[in-house]
Structure 1
Amino acid sequence: MTHPHAPSAFTDPAVVARYAEGPRRNVPGYDGLLRMSRILLAERVPADGRVLVVGAGGGLELEDMALAHPGWRFDGVDPSQPMLDLAAQRLQIAGVPGDRVALHHGYVQSAPAGPFDGATCLLTFHFVPREERVSMAAEIRRRLKPGAPLVAAHLSVADGEGSDGDGDGGAGERDLWLSRYAAFQVASGVAPGHAARARDKVAADLAVLTPEEDEAVLREAGFSDVQMFYMGFAFRGWVTQFNF
């Protein structure tokens, strides 16, 4: 779940060791998001299918899918070697055979050509600058079989533009959703000061698009039938597919 533009903390051993705690504290309904993601993939991925996992560091979604679908094989890619090491350790502890999962150090371009029966990109796109989103999504699309699904979820916040016809209050709506993101962290046990700093860092450092912009990125990259299936405060999730 990391990207070249992600915080350098993903190489900090202490941060890496505690990584598994983060998604459940930060992302409303994280465990449900994992289950929904594999259910959506399973609609089109065959029992012996091959799945590309973009941002595979940490191994949480790899573990979830591998245990639920013992015939699936996976290629996971991530630019953080410590996070890939953590994923490998997690899969070994879970009893997932090593020949079912290949982990690749690098970016999407480092992933095998496939073709894959499906792909996931969870909690990763928000680390990617706006101007690189389409090319990254296109790299995923080029590795998929026709009709193969992509499930993506990340920070995506409305800005209020056009809601009342004059665009007023856009920044206020975005601030409100990011404040709710911080409030969820506090309710999950994160210290208020830490949650406030995390909220400010997201606002300052990440290219968080609106849901409409995110859907446009997927379409421009060559995906079709873009459907939102998940919303958790400041997070959104979509399922889409590559067709000729």
Structure 2
Amino acid sequence: MRNEELKALFDQQAANYDKQWAGMAPIRDALYLLLDACFAGLPDNARILCVGVGTGAELAHLAERFPGWRFTAVDPSGAMLDLCRQRAEQGCYLARCRFHEGYLDTLPDGPGHDGATCFLVSQFLLEPPARSAFFHEIARRLEPGGILANADLASDIESPAYEALLRHWLTLMSSAGVPPDMLERARAAYARDVAILPAQQVAGLIETAGFKAPVQFFQAGLMHGWFCERQADIGES
């Protein structure tokens, strides 16, 4: 899916996005619970980069959990970013946030970040070199030793286990109240617009982009999560 198509898709979904996926909140909450542990060693005044922040769910969680942290929220969808900004205003942490509408490579350079979140974003980059370059872009915006927490759908789609896991995942979404038409769109997207790679391959792409070996800290169905430190020397993209 091209950048323009991806932006248009999320602009269109923004108004109902949180409601549509509300039934999957227990998985999100489990991810955030473990995310706290990944970021526990960061300073009290940490700067956090939220890539593909969407409506700002993880930003809201971290802002409440760590009241001294500041955030850079990046998303190409203006509609999503507007909802993120509204959530920040309602949560009384707007002053701790900087918002950038656009893709990560258009974010102006600034002070390095101590941590970064990137949840269900890189999977939309279908070519491995582009995906590796994306992770390198995150790395260069982190301080050496900064922590990346990344989550993506991952599986070996050539294995018999994938079909069983996909059925399980779609059944889970259905029982969580995701509408049937969205389930069909998700099934089609997984085959065409989402790069579902084996977990070890995703970890390898992250590592080659300037990070120490990622550690898997989370899995729920097809969703896998890793955390890793930025290397001291990340070289050129």
Fold conserved (TM > 0.5)? yes
Which residue in the other structure is 2:103 paired with? 107
Which residue in the other structure is 2:230 paired with? 242
- CA-atom RMSD in angstroms: 1.9
1:36-51 pair list within 5 angstroms: 36-43=34-41, 45-51=42-48
1:184 to 172, 176, 194: 172
Amino acid of the residue matched to residue 110 of structure 1? T
Which residue in the other structure is 1:8 paired with? 8
Q: CA deviation at 1:191?
A: 3.6
Q: Provide the rounded CA distance (Å) in 2 between the counterparts of 1:83 and 1:226.
A: 29
Q: Which runs of 5+ in 2 are unaligned?
A: 233-237
Q: Provide the rounded CA distance (Å) in 2 between the counterparts of 1:230 and 1:50.
A: 23
Q: Deviations over 1:66-99 (max 9, x none)?
A: 0111100000111111110010011111222x22
SS at match of 1:186: helix
Q: CA deviation at 1:38?
A: 2.9
2:19 to 18, 21, 29: 21
Which residue in the other structure is 2:131 paired with? 133
SS at match of 2:38: helix
Q: CA deviation at 1:122?
A: 0.9
Is 2:156–2:162's contact at 8 Å kept on the other side of the alignment?
A: yes
The verdict on how the C-alpha distance between 1:32 and 1:188 changes in structure 2, with shifts beyond 3 A counting, is: same
Is 1:53–1:75's contact at 8 Å kept on the other side of the alignment?
A: yes
Q: Which runs of 5+ in 1 are unaligned?
A: 160-169
The verdict on how the C-alpha distance between 1:8 and 1:175 changes in structure 2, with shifts beyond 3 A counting, is: farther
The verdict on how the C-alpha distance between 1:197 and 1:81 changes in structure 2, with shifts beyond 3 A counting, is: closer
1:83 to 80, 83, 105: 80
Q: CA deviation at 1:28?
A: 6.1
Is 2:203–2:213's contact at 8 Å kept on the other side of the alignment?
A: no
TM-score (norm 2): 0.89
Q: CA deviation at 1:129?
A: 2.0
Which residue in the other structure is 2:31 paired with? 33
Q: Provide the rounded CA distance (Å) in 2 between the counterparts of 1:174 and 1:217.
A: 21
1:224 to 212, 215, 227: 212
Structure 1 stretch displaced more, 115-124 or 175-184: 175-184
Q: Deviations over 1:22-69 (max 9, x none)?
A: 4444576111112222331122x2001111110112111111100111
Q: CA deviation at 1:192?
A: 4.0
Q: CA deviation at 1:127?
A: 1.3
Aligned residues: 228
SS at match of 1:74: strand
